Chain A
Amino acid sequence: MGFKTLRQKINLVLTVTCVVVLAALPVIGAPQSWLLYAFLFFVYLAMANMWNLLAGYSGLISLCQPAFLGLAGYTLAIGTWVGIPWWAGLLGGAIVAGVFALLISIPVFRLSGIYFAIGTLVVPEALRMVFYLWRPVGGQMHGAGAGYMIKEIGGVSTDLMYWWALVVGIGSILLVRLILRSNLGLGLAAIRDNERAAASCGVSVFKLKLYTFIVAAVVTGLAGGVYYLYQGYIEPSATFNVKWTMTLLLATVIGGIRTEEGPVIGTIVVVFLYFLLARYAGYSLLIQGIILIGIMLLSPQGIVGVLRRSRLYRYVAECGAP
C-alpha cells in the first residue's frame, strides 16, 4: 500500500480536484440552482451510502431511516427554540439518532431478514404519530400538525450549509471505505457470505450489525439535520415519510447495491430525476416505483453492474484500486 502507481496518482489528483471544485462552487459564483442540486446530492448521498452499508453489506434491510433523519431534524429545530446553537443541534441530533438506534435495536434486532424490514417500517409511522401529538416547546401550532420553524439561523449563510452537506456527503464515502477495509468490514463480509460460518469462526454477528446500525443512524441523522437546517422548517408528515426510504432505496438500487460506487452514481440519477419529475410531483412515486422494480428485475446490480461489464470501467477501476 505504501507506493502508488502513476494511475493511482492520477486518480487521486482527479478526486481531490473534483472535491475542491465542488467545495469552491459557492465562492466562484455558481448559480443558486446548481448549489441546490449539489446540496441535495450530498445529503442524499450520505443517507444512501448508509443504507447501502446496512442493506448491501450487513443484510439489514432497514426501512426506518426517516426516523433517524427526522429525530435529528427535530432535535435541531427544538434545540433552536430553547437557545441551543444550530451547530450543537446538528451534532446533538446525530447523537440522538444514534441513541434511538440503540433503543430500537432492542426490539428489531430480535428479528432477522424480512421480519427486520417490517419491524423497522413501523418505527417512523409510530414517530409520526408521536410528533403529531407531542409538542415539547412553543405553545402555538405553526402550520400542519406539530411543525417547527428552525429559529435564529438568519445569520447562517447558505454557503456554510452547503459546506456542511459537502463534508457529510464526502465524509460518508470515506467512512464506508474505511469501514469496509477495517475488521468490522471483514466481519460484515464474512456474515454476508455465511452468517453461521462467520459466527462459528468467532465473528460477533450481533455486535457488528449493531455497530453498523448505530453508525448508519448517526450519519443519516447528521445528513437529516443539515437538510432541515436548509429547509428551515420541520413537520411530522413529510419527515417521517416513506418517500425518504424510497429515495435511498432508489439511489442505492439504481446505482448498484453492495457496491461502493453504486450510491454515488445512483444519487446523481436520483437528484436528476427529482428535478425532472418536479413538474409531475403527483406522479413521481409512481414513476420511481416503476424504475425501482424495472432496475431490480433487469439489472439487480444496477448501473454499476452494467458498467462493470465494460472495458473502460475495468480500466478506471484498476486506477482506483488501492
Chain B
Amino acid sequence: MGSGDIITPLVMGLLLGGLYALIALGLSMVFGVMRLINLAHGDLVALGSYGAYALMTVVGIDPIVGLVISVPAMFLLGLAIQKYLMGRAFAISSEAPLIIAFGISLVIQNANQIAWTPLSRALNTPYSHMSFTIGARQFPLSYLLDFAAGVVVMLALRYFLTSTYLGRAITAASQDKKAAQLMGINTNRVYGYAFAIAMASAAIAGVFLGMTFPFTPTSGVSFLTIAFGTVIIGGLGSMLGTFIGGMILGVFQTLGGYFLGPAFQMLIVYVIVLVILAVRPQGLFGR
C-alpha cells in the first residue's frame, strides 16, 4: 500500500474478479434453476478449500491435480443433498429449503472446525507465491491462475448449458418448470444435476481461493457474501454478467483496500452489496 500506484490494485482487482465469478457461478446456477439462494454455498466453497488442504497435507497431492478427486466427490455429495434433503424440503414449504440450507451451512462449518481446528489455513504450493511482471509491476501468479480458472469454468459451463442435452434441459427447467415437464424433462433429475454442478464448481472455487487467501472454518459467510455481491452486481442468469460483476466487485475491493487500508476490504464488499440492493435490487445488468 501507499506506493502511489493505482494501476497495481486495479489490475489485481480485475484478476480477482475471475475468482469471484468462479465462487458465484454455483450460487447463480442453483438460484437460476431451483429458485433457491443456497445459504450453504459459501461453506461448500470452504469445504472445497479444506478438501484440497486435506489432499495436499495428508496425501501430498497438488491442489489443482487434486480436483480430479474432489470435483467428482463434491458432485456426488451434491446429488445426495438434493435427493435426500433439498428435494424433500421443496415439498414442505417455501421457507423450508432456506432453513435447511442454513442448517447444512452450520453443519459444514462446524465439521470443518472439528476436523481442522479454527486456525487459519492456506494452500501453499511452490507456484502460489511466484509472481509475474507486466511492465515494471509485479503481480502474484495465483491471481492470474484465479482469472484463468474463472474464464475456463465459465466457458465450460456456457458450452454445457447451450450445447448438451442435459444442459439444455437445465436451461429449460429454469425458464419454465411446467413446460419443461410437459416436454418430458425429469425436473427432479435436472435439479439434482444443477445442484451437483454447483457443488463441483464450489470445489474448484475452493482450491483457487485457498491458494490466494487464507481461510478459516467461518470464512463461508464472507465467501457467500462475495458470491451474492457478484451475482447482484452482474444480474442473475447471465454468465457474462456474473463475470463482469465479479470484476467490478474485485476492483472495488482492491481499490478500497488501497485507499482506506486492508482492514476495510471486506467491509467495502458488504456495504456495496447493501447499497446495490437498495438502489438496484435486480442487479446492474438485470432486467
- List residues of A whose CB falls within 8 A of some B CB: 55, 59, 61, 63, 104, 106-108, 110-111, 113-115, 117-119, 121-123, 125-126, 129-130, 132-133, 242, 245-246, 249, 253, 257, 282-286, 288-290, 292-293, 296-297, 300
Contacts and interface: CB of A to CB of B under 8 A. Distances in A.
A115 B281 contact: yes
Contact of B267 (A126, A285, A293): A126
Contact of A111 (B39, B111, B264, B277): B277
B270 A296 contact: no
A125 B221 CA distance: 8
6 contacts: A113-B94, A118-B37, A285-B109, A289-B110, A293-B103, A300-B93
Contact of A61 (B98, B222, B224, B277): B98
Contact of A55 (B92, B95, B114): B95
B274 A242 contact: no
A285 B110 contact: yes
A296 B100 contact: yes
Contact of A300 (B39, B92, B103, B105): B92
A296 B107 CA distance: 15
B270 A125 contact: yes
Interface string B252-287: 000000000001101100110111011001000000
Contacts of B221: 121, 125, 242
A133 B37 contact: no
Nearest to A293: B103
B240 interface: no
Given A61-B98, A296-B92, A133 B270 contact: no
A285 B35 CA distance: 27
B104 interface: yes
Identify the interface centre among B94, B111, B264, B278: most chain A CB within 10 Å of its CB: B278
B270 A293 contact: no
Among B264, B270, B271, chain A packs the most CB atoms within 10 A around the CB of B270
A122 B92 contact: no
Contact of A297 (B36, B92, B95, B281): B92
A108 B277 contact: yes
A114 B36 contact: yes
A253 B278 contact: no
Please give me the 3 A-B residue pairs with the lowest Cβ-Cβ distance, nearest first.
A107-B278, A126-B270, A286-B110
Contacts of B273: 119, 122
A67 to B, nearest CB: 12
A133 B228 CA distance: 24
B278 A118 contact: no
B106 A289 contact: yes
With most chain B CB atoms within 10 A of its CB, the pick from A111, A118, A125, A130 is A118
B113 interface: yes
B218 to A, nearest CB: 8
A143 to B, nearest CB: 17
B274 A107 contact: yes
A113 B85 CA distance: 20
Contacts of B274: 104, 107-108, 119, 122-123, 126
A286 B271 contact: no
A55 B102 CA distance: 14
B98 A289 contact: no
A61 B88 contact: no
Interface string B107-136: 101110110000000000000000000000
Contact of B277 (A119, A129, A249): A119
B96 interface: yes
B36 A110 contact: no
A113 B111 CA distance: 29
Contact of A125 (B85, B107, B110, B225): B225
Contacts of A245: 102
Contacts of B114: 282-283, 286
A133 B106 contact: no
B266 A129 contact: yes
B10 interface: no
A76 to B, nearest CB: 24
A110 B37 contact: no
Given A108-B277, A285-B109, 17 more contacts: A63-B102, A104-B274, A107-B275, A110-B277, A114-B98, A119-B273, A121-B221, A122-B228, A125-B221, A126-B270, A133-B263, A249-B99, A289-B106, A293-B103, A296-B99, A296-B103, A300-B96
Contacts of B264: 129, 133
B89 interface: yes
Given A55-B95, A117-B37, A296-B103, A106 B110 contact: no
Contacts of B96: 296, 300
Contacts of A285: 106-107, 109-110
A292 B221 CA distance: 19
A277 to B, nearest CB: 11
B95 A61 contact: yes
Nearest to B279: A107
Contact of A130 (B36, B94, B267): B267
Contacts of A249: 99, 102
Nearest to B31: A114
B89 A297 contact: yes
Nearest to A126: B270
B225 A286 contact: no
